[in-house]
Amino acid sequence: MAFVFTDSNFQETALSGGVSVVDFWAEWCGPCRLIGPIIDDLSTQYEGKVKIGKVNVDDNPEISLKYGVRSIPTILIIKDGQVVDKQVGVATKATLEAKIAAHL
């Protein structure tokens, strides 16, 4: 299961070094529900190598505002505390795997 990033834990988890994949989503978002299982699969696949999780934008507005998330789903790939890639909208698992692999 994907990690749950929040306003309070984001700094020490997503930005603490290495590669993190952060899915900005909301329960009411149809496309977010499509990509959710892909994020869960990737979190299992890359366990121990990449921190993969989700941010509920309704519950965590500070992170969404800080990273300029205006459309969901938005997926940020963060390496060593810096955003290195971004995917807005639904993407296939293969697309996300390629984006992750490019930063490992």
- Is there a catalytic annotation at residue 70? no
* Three state DSSP letters for the chain: CCEECCCCCHHHHCCCCCEEEEEEECCCCHHHHHHHHHHHHHHHHCCCCCEEEEEECCCCHHHHHHCCCCCCCEEEEEECCEEEEEEECCCCHHHHHHHHHCCC
* Catalytic residue of the set 26, 29, 88, 90: 29
| Catalytic site includes residue 29 | yes
Indicate which residue of 32, 35, 50, 69 is catalytic: 32
Catalytic residue set: 29, 32
